Amino acid sequence: MHADTAQSAIDTFISAFNASDDAYVTSLLSQALTSDVVLWGPLGRSEGIEAVERFVLDIRRHPAGPGTMVRCSGVDMPDEWARYQWVFTTPDGGPRLAGTDVVHLRRGLIDQMIVFAGDLAPAG
């Protein structure tokens, strides 16, 4: 699989967080994810586009206001796995969260996603 295919799916997924209206979220996720996608994240395991959509909509409704999600690294892709870093910021210098996602792609769509949010503690 080519890295641009992975990057396209990843960037489409991220664009769901920044859609101009909640109505576009489902369409964007359907272009980036398989219907049976599995997401492992800080709040546990979710299965299916509907579960990922709830996750995205919850973040879009952050108490500090609608934020912006961006991919802030290149896409590193050994075979069908890819990783990238992201950052989420809320308006007016509000809360900021950064992390790394690892995704598995099947036929050009993300079918598994592991979300690592926040910084790792130093070793020792």
Q: Is 2 strand, coil or helix?
A: coil
Strand pairing report for 96-106 and 81-89: antiparallel
The whole-angstrom separation of Cα 85 and Cα 5 is 17
What is the pTM assigned to this prediction?
A: 0.91
Q: Which amino acid is at 108?
A: G
DSSP letters, 11-23, are HHHHHHHT-SSGG
Could you report the average pLDDT of every consecutive run of 10 residues in the chain (124 residues)? 87 96 95 98 92 92 84 94 94 83 97 92 83
Q: What is residue 76's DSSP assignment?
A: B
